[in-house]
Amino acid sequence: MTIHAFRMQLKPGTVEEYRRRHDEIWPELAELLHESGIYDYSIFLDEQTLALFAVLKLADDNRRDALPDHPVMRRWWDHMAPLMEVQPDNRPVEWPLVPMFHLD
């Protein structure tokens, strides 16, 4: 198991829509993430900067690298692109976060 943390960036005025879309996450997307070895996934918002901070756990045999090629993932990225900073293919821009401290 690996913990992966990263930052993303919302556009102004999109917080409530971002929350609504995640509250109504597509069942096929949730299933795809689980089948890909992603679990215990949380996203947090810094309300002052609109930065999103995501933390997830990856199973040792995860297939996260295959997600960009999956049609459900592509559709989700297209759906979310108007709300956040994205790459040309609508994949969210991610900035990796460096672990600095952990307490069990």
Catalytic residues: 22
CA distance 32 to 26: 10
Which among 77, 80, 75 has a CA at the least distance from the CA of 18? 80
Indicate the Cα dihedral angle 17, 23, 41, 59, nearest 10°: -120
Radius of gyration of the chain (CA): 14
Contacts of 24 (CB under 8 A, 6+ apart): none
